[in-house]
Amino acid sequence: MPVAFDEKDLARFPFLQEAQAKIAGSQLNQLETFLTSDVGNRIIQRATDRIETAITIPPQGLFDHFRLSNADSTSPLESLYTYGMARIIASCLNDRSAIERLISYEARRSSFFLMNDESDETAEAEAEKRKAVAAQLGLFLDEGTVSVPAYIEMVAGLREPLWRLVNRDVHGGLVRVYPTEVEVLLRERIRVVIRGRGLPRVPPEICALLAPSIEHLTAVLQSQMLRDLGPIDESRYPPCMNALIAALLEGKNLTHMGRFALTAFLHTIGLSTTQIVEVYQRSPDFDIEKTLYQVEHISGRSGTEYTPPSCATMLTNGICVGRDGFCERIGSPLGYYRKKKVKAGSSDRQ
């Protein structure tokens, strides 16, 4: 007999076809009216909180968060709309790391509820529901196997050697999976499905109505990135940035792109306006007013916060200088700094 999903199930597994149909037929379709209603405001707030949680709580802390939120009194329908609204806000925010964190959050949330159902249902009914949800994800848990292409797609983000295909039991194009691995595989499959669906295209006038949420989340993202990067460490600067600083010290004039790249880099890793101005102060032709104006502009005073250019742009502009081994697998000076800090952190712990 086919499993019937109730509203609580749809709120927990919002990627299900039934949940998508419910969202499609809801008030979220008349967004302009909905966003200015009381319930709309409540759901915007909840969706903003959901994205903030996704950005700020590390994966290992999410289990407790879901356990506690399982007991909150939000109606299942509002919870489902919150999922839809979070996707709308994420689309307006248009930040790759925020979107990835939201996808990861949703995948962990649904797999948590799938594997830790505290409803009144019997164990048998729970198992049937789990199978029905998994089947919608293209996973057939009865057989204990997954096709090789589906398996490869699911484990793409898993780093442990255990998940590598060469370490698996593979027969006839099927990979054997064990009951203890189901939760991880379901989570990864949900991630693939949610990512594959992409985000809704939201008209600019709707994003404008969501501006307070977008501004708040932009500030959350910025401070989270600074926390992730940790204290400033000059010894991890990439060669191109060291070259720009050295040029300043030698009294050379930096090109417009050189100034832009250095300022955006220093701002993004957490230097204050004053600290950045102090870097330029080392230059013999230092002009405090001009420097202050440029630094504040690049750091976001104009309303746009600039991020450092990619290595490709640096190369095109002739300021990718002194490449070393760390440059091989990164795409930007910021990536270089982050990678070197992570590496230093792991060798410090050894």
Q: Is 239 in the site for ligand SF4 (CB under 6 A)?
A: yes
240 binds ligand SF4 (CB under 6 A): yes
| In the complex, least distance from residue 285 CB atom to ligand SF4, rounded to whole angstroms | 24
What does the alpha-carbon distance between residue 216 and residue 305 come to, in Å, rounded to a whole number?
Answer: 14
State the SS3 of 211-266. Answer: HHHHHHHHHHHHHHHHHHHCCCCHHHCCHHHHHHHHHHHCCCCCCHHHHHHHHHHH
Residue 92: count other Cβ atoms within 10 Å of its Cβ. Answer: 21
Specify the residue, 155 or 240, whose C-beta has the smaller distance to ligand SF4: 240
Q: Which of 314, 338, 340, 341 binds ligand SF4 (CB under 6 A)?
A: 314
Please, which of residues 166-225 interact with ligand SF4 by CB under 6 A? none
Which residues are CB-neighbours of 146 under 8 A, at least 6 positions away?
A: 139, 154, 174, 175, 177, 185
Nearer to ligand SF4, 249 or 312 (CB): 312
Decide: is 238 part of the binding site for ligand SF4 (CB under 6 A).
yes
Our CB check for ligand SF4 shows the closer of 192 and 311 to be 311
Instruction: Give min distance, CB of 257 to ligand SF4, in A.
Output: 11
**Quick one: 120 or 328, whose CB is closer to ligand SF4?**
328
Q: Are 63 and 113 in contact (CB under 8 A)?
A: no
Rule CB under 6 A: say whether 237 interacts with ligand SF4: no
320 binding ligand SF4? (CB under 6 A)? yes
96-115 helix and 211-229 helix, angle to the nearest 10 degrees: 90
Among 88, 177, 192, 327, the residue binding ligand SF4 under the rule CB under 6 A is: 327
Write down the least CB distance from residue 321 to ligand SF4, Å: 6
Judged by CB under 6 A, does residue 14 bind ligand SF4?
A: no
Q: Which of 66, 112, 265, 336 binds ligand SF4 (CB under 6 A)?
A: 336
Stretch that binds ligand SF4, among 56-64, 205-213, 246-254, 322-330 (CB under 6 A): 322-330
Collapsing DSSP to helix, strand or coil, 339 comes out as helix
Q: Does 258 bind ligand SF4 (CB under 6 A)?
A: no
Q: 137 is written with which tokens?
A: 């994800």
Kindly write down the DSSP assignment for every residue of 17-39, as one continuous string: HHHHHHHHTSGGGSHHHHHTSHH
Smallest gap, in angstroms, from Cβ of residue 319 to ligand SF4?
A: 7
Provide DSSP, 86-153.
HHHHHHHH--HHHHHHHHHHHHHHHHHHHHS--SSS-HHHHHHHHHHHHHHTT--GGGTEEEHHHHHH
The DSSP element (H or E) to which 170 belongs, if any, is strand 170-171
Query: Quick one: 91 or 313, whose CB is closer to ligand SF4?
Result: 313
Counting beta carbons within 10 angstroms of the beta carbon of residue 291, is it exposed (0 to 12), middle (13 to 18) or buried (19 or more)?
buried
Q: For residue 169, give both structure tokens.
A: 């039991």
The stretch among 136-144, 151-159, 234-242, 292-300 that binds ligand SF4 (CB under 6 A) is 234-242
Note whether 264 binds ligand SF4 by CB under 6 A: no
The one segment of 10-18, 19-27, 140-148, 235-243 that binds ligand SF4 by CB under 6 A: 235-243
State the DSSP code for 272. -
Given 216, 297, 323, 339, the residue binding ligand SF4 (CB under 6 A): 323
Query: At closest approach, how far in Å is the CB of 347 from ligand SF4?
Result: 20
CA gap 203, 318 in Å, rounded: 38
Which residues bind to ligand SF4, rule: CB under 6 A? 238-240, 311, 314, 320, 322-323, 327, 333, 336
